[in-house]
Amino acid sequence: MDDIKLTGLYDVQNPWGEQDPVSLRGLNARIDAIAGKTIGLFATRSKLAAVPIMEAVERQLQAREPSLKFAWFLFDHNAHIAETEDKERFAEWAQGIDAAVAAVGD
């Protein structure tokens, strides 16, 4: 131990490593305005806070734009929706909305 010098300096490593620069992009173009639109609210019921989060989102959006309509999709599984019997119901719901907000709520 006599040959170790304490300098107070540390080498910091990044646990994430190098990342490829990939531009973020949405699945669809953003809507230009929300007036009169139907907003889909997706919540997983098995997550404790998901529904209360979406209720708060609905209240805030409705206060900002009273002409908004909302369509809820409540999901009962902790799985990818494409792997459940709700897949067709989800596709039908998605066709009737202009934009969507989702909450996991863990």
Q: Does residue 100 contact residue 39 with C-beta atoms inside 8 Å? A: yes
Tell me the pLDDT tens digit for each residue of 60-96: 999 999 999 999 999 887 778 888 888 999 999 999 9
Q: Where along the chain do its domains lie?
A: 35-78
Q: What are the residue ranges of helices labelled H in the chain?
A: 50-64, 87-95
Determine the average pLDDT of the residues in 21-27: 76
Determine the average pLDDT of the residues in 8-12: 76
Cα separations in angstroms, 23 against 20, 29, 79: 10, 15, 27
pLDDT at residue 2, as a whole number? 60
Spatial neighbors of 36 by CB under 8 A, at least 6 apart, are 67, 68, 69
Question: Does the structure show a pLDDT above 60 at 1?
Answer: no
pLDDT at residue 39, as a whole number? 97
